[in-house]
Structure 1
Amino acid sequence: MMPAPDRPLGCPPGLEYLTQTDQLLVHQKVSMAEVIIGWEMNNVYTVKNNVGQQVFMATEENDLCSMQCGPGRAFTIHVQDNLGHEVLTLTRPLRCSSCCFPCCLQVLEVQIPPAVPIGYVVQNWHPLVPKFTLLNERREPQLKIKGPFCDCRCMSDIVFELLSLDESAVVGQISKQWGGIMQEAYTDADNFGIKFPADLDVKMKALMLGACFLIDFMFFEMNPNSHSRHSS
């Protein structure tokens, strides 16, 4: 586990871990209940730095009934540091994710304790590619995220680019990493890499982490076992 560094002036408590890194690795834990019986369970993730030290643990809070609504379900994700202190709360209300309904797009609110918003990840309507805008606490656009035309690429990573506001420059990325045949075929547990400029505002780094979880739910959360049963 990564020891807690000194907190710079203006950095929210617990986010000092993010000030010293330009990369995060996000690993979703495999749930045996999902593998064996196909029931969707609360997602649990470990978040590590680029040398493999754990910096955060993220846990979905949801009831069993809501979880069976699949990847479109509303959720709250609690992000805790290595001492068990909550440093971020990520909230996604229930919204339609279909591109046919641009009036009801996805929104993720990112808060620091005690329930203070520091920004939002907002889906932008586009008929062909996934697009999002990162907003600060005043809902002012700061950065954009653009995904690929097709999010199904066998045996390769799937990259969502972090772009400048005018989309003229790539400044980072969220990549869904290929997990191997067994993991991809039998679980919905995913691995992600997040890259951003080391000097990026720490709140924007936190929004990138939140965007990673939202992207996981929207595009990669379908349980293969459940899908195979429904199609049989």
Structure 2
Amino acid sequence: MSAPGYQSPNQPPYPMPQPGGYSMPPYPVGGYGEPGQAPPAGFHMGYGQGPDQPIMYQPAPVSPPQHPGQVPMPAYGGPVAPPVSGPVAAPVAAPVAVPVGVPPGLEYLTQIDQVLIHQKVELLEAFIGFETNNQYEIKNSMGQKIYKAKEKNDCCTRNCCGSLRSFDMKIKDNMDREVIRLIRPFRCATCWCPCCLQELEVQAPPGTTIGYVSQDWHPCYPKFSIQGPNRETVMKLEGPCLACNCCGDVNFELRGKDGGKPIGRISKQWTGLLKEVFTDADNFGIQFPLDMDVKMKAVLMGACFLIDFIFFEKVGDTNQRNTVFS
């Protein structure tokens, strides 16, 4: 019987493959023993080639640290970390790359060229005509919800001012963080007067203005200017003739500030006669260039909500649409 840790000169000092793909390190880390022999200190029993063959000892796993601040030793073959003093800090997640100039929460808009906006049906409105806060779901082209929006104002304003009412609207992401805020002041627009045109301010994040949607006066066509934070006109939005659309989609074409060919569109989708007559739950689609500034994409979303209130919202308790768009 040979002594523990003794390697026979007839046994070559090369690694022996073990189950799981692990190859044993050569002597003197391990050694050979005989069947039934206890392994030396720091090793545990390995595997032999048969009942009468020598047994290869394997290094025993290192136990976890017993003292605070001690760095655990790695398993076989791993790099050894230097000891540190004091408690070990929790791992810090790697920072996520965010495009420069993109407001927090709007990163996803850089990857898409279309959004869908669906207004929720409010049963209280449908049955008794009592105006409630509008709520919307904002989805991608595959129907996956990416944001949600909810109007905020008081009961008197909603039911007395109808579609002309002022509001703050919060747009939140799927983690319930407010990423966009829309602010609409009250404007008396009982007639198409140049001094009573509608306007909407868009903030992202809340408190930081990124643009405005301003209505332009025109006797026949609904027109809007999409403006930057300094009220500089960036794009134009033009709808169809007020008297020429019924029972179909209503398209508002997006063009450059100097006109020209359309570069995008806001479409109010026809949802059927019964739903159009008895509810104001509307569906919209917004198309814009993929490489458009993400802040202007957010402003276009605000323009869609303003268009919904001006042209497709019921007026107080009259249970009628504000315009001929129905």
Q: Is the pair's TM-score, using the shorter chain for normalization, greater than 0.5?
A: yes
Cα distance per residue 1:180-202 (max 9 Å; x no partner): 12211110110000000000000
- Give the fraction of aligned pairs with identical amino acids, expressed as a percent: 53
Coordinate RMSD, CA, aligned: 1.7
Gaps of 5+ in 1: none
Say if 2:98 is the partner of 1:7: yes
Corresponding position of 2:69: none
Residue number in structure 2 paired with 1:144? 236
- Where does structure 2 lack aligned partners over 5 or more consecutive residues? 1-95, 321-326
The corresponding residue for 2:120 is: 29
- Map 1:154-165 to 2 at 5 A: 154-165=246-257
Partners of 1:35 and 1:225 within 8 A in 2: no
User: 2:243 & 2:175 partners in 1: Cα distance?
Assistant: 36
SS in 2 for 1:94: coil
Rounded Cα–Cα distance in structure 1 between residues aligned with 2:120 and 2:135:
6
Greater relative contact order (CA < 8 Å, ≥ 6 in sequence): 1
**SS of equivalent residue, structure 1 residue 115:** coil
Give the AA of the match of 2:300: M
Determine which of 126, 136, 141 is the counterpart of 1:50.
141
Q: Does 1:126 align with 2:218?
A: yes
Report which of the two structures shows the higher radius of gyration computed on alpha carbons.
Answer: 2
* Displacement after TM superposition at 1:168 (Å): 1.2
Structure 1 partner of 2:63:
none
**How big is the shift at 1:105?**
1.1
Secondary structure of the residue aligned to 1:71 is helix
Query: Which stretch of the first structure deviates more once superposed, 202-211 or 100-109?
Result: 100-109
Distance 2:230 2:97 in 1: 27
Q: Name the SS of the counterpart of 2:115 in structure 1.
A: strand
Greater helix proportion? 1
The amino acid across from 2:303 in the alignment is A
CA distance in 2, matches of 1:85, 1:151: 41
The residue number in structure 1 matching 2:46 is none
The one-letter code sitting in structure 2 at the alignment partner of 1:12 is P
Is contact 2:162-2:316 (8 Å) kept? no
Q: Residues 15 and 227 (structure 1 numbering): CA distance in 2 closer, same or farther, change over 3 Å?
A: same
Tell me how far 1:142 sits from its aligned partner. 0.3
C-alpha distance in 1 between matches for 2:224 and 2:242: 16
1:6, CA displacement in angstroms? 5.5
Figure out how many residues of one structure are paired with residues of the other and give that number.
Answer: 224
Which of 180, 199, 204 in structure 1 is aligned with 2:272?
Answer: 180
> What residue is the counterpart of 1:40 in the other structure?
131
Are the aligned partners of 1:12 and 1:112 in contact in 2 as well (CA < 8 Å)? yes
